[in-house]
């Protein structure tokens, strides 16, 4: 057995302990009940792009609070094969944004609608009205980190769930064929929304975060380092931080996933380390597939878009 096979054997055997608090289900039931009826206050306006075969709309909607969340709603600007289209909801990586309409062209060429949304406060055009109750380290994830009810993660989770709601209401979209998709932070949000909502037909979580977060807090060189820096400055707050994370950690929520899941992992990733991703993948009980990139860090390969498209199209997907 060569080293890579041995490494994979160890990773497929990874079993992380659940850290779920006793009120995990009650927390999410109350959150979903609180925001289910919250109005979207949405607006959809057609905009011009540099691509004549993209019908683009700028969208704003309200998610967790009064923050206007920005998104691109994109449709193929050529005759579709069906009246209603499958829709890919795209969540971006940490510090990123929804980008520009043209960068989502591969999905459109494959015949899908796209709803690409900003994550509040980061690199896009969306602000963040979430109150700050305690000092933060640089970045966003330590906002409200001492209480799950006030956590930044709770706000972005609700924002993502309301994006699902918005997409399902669009006349061009087949609401039974909505796919949540993203890389890194976006992959974590895809898993989280899939665990909390029955709307997604499929879930694509590439090199995702929100996995085995107590391990990531100690090892990650990515966004969780912000939380590690917070604990370094406030060592007496470690247990509070870990408790907050436990409400959003997919180790504790993986058993809620019902839709088919495609995940990917880079074995040299120091941001979302393979141990964290395998810990969640090994807990998923629904149909699943994992694309392993043995020599990748925190990135997938350029042809991975083909794998994602096949996963959406095929009833019974196999790598």
Q: Which two tokens stand for residue 222?
A: 């990515």
CA distance 119 to 156: 7
The single residue of 90, 151, 168, 184 carrying the catalytic annotation is 184
Secondary structure tally for the chain: helices H, strands E: 11, 9
Active site residue 184: yes
The single residue of 65, 219, 255, 298 carrying the catalytic annotation is 298
Q: Which residues pair with 199 in a beta bridge?
A: none
Active site residue 298: yes
Report CA 280 to chain centroid distance, whole Å: 14
CA distance 154 to 62: 14
Q: In what order do the strands lie in the sheet with 261-266?
A: 43-47, 54-62, 68-76, 113-117, 85-91, 173-183, 200-206, 261-266, 288-293
Distances 84 to 109, 114, 169, 171, 178 between C-alpha atoms, Å:
15, 13, 12, 7, 11
The single residue of 118, 206, 214, 269 carrying the catalytic annotation is 269
Active site residue 36: no
Known catalytic residues are 184, 269, 298
């Amino acid at each position: 057995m060569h080293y890579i096979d041995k490494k994979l054997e160890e990773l497929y055997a990874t079993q992380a302990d659940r850290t779920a608090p006793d009120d995990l289900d009650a927390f999410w039931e109350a959150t979903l009940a609180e925001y289910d009826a919250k109005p979207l206050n949405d607006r959809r306006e057609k905009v011009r792009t540099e691509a004549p075969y993209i019908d683009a709309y700028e969208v704003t909607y309200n998610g967790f609070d009064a923050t206007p969340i920005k998104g691109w709603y994109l449709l193929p600007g050529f005759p579709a094969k069906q009246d209603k289209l499958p829709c890919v909801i795209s969540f971006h990586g940490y510090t990123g944004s929804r980008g520009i309409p043209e960068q989502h062209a591969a999905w459109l060429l494959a015949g899908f609608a796209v709803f690409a949304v900003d994550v509040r406060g980061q690199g896009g055009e969306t602000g963040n009205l979430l109150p700050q109750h305690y000092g933060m380290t640089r970045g966003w994830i330590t906002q409200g980190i001492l209480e799950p009810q006030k956590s930044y993660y709770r706000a972005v989770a609700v924002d993502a769930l309301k994006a699902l709601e918005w997409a399902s209401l669009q006349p061009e979209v087949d609401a039974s064929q909505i796919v949540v998709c993203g890389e890194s932070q976006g992959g974590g949000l895809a898993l989280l929304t899939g665990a909390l909502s029955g709307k997604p037909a499929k879930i694509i979580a590439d090199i995702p975060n929100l996995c085995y977060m107590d391990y990531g807090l100690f090892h990650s060189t990515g966004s969780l380092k912000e939380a590690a820096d917070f604990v370094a400055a406030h060592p007496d707050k470690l247990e509070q931080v870990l408790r907050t994370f436990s409400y959003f950690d997919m180790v504790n929520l993986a058993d809620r996933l019902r839709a088919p899941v495609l995940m990917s992992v880079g074995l040299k990733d120091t941001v979302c380390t393979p141990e964290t991703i395998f810990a969640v993948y090994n807990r998923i009980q629904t149909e699943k597939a994992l694309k392993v990139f043995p020599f990748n860090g925190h990135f997938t390969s350029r042809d991975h878009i083909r794998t994602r498209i096949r996963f959406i199209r095929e009833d019974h997907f196999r790598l």
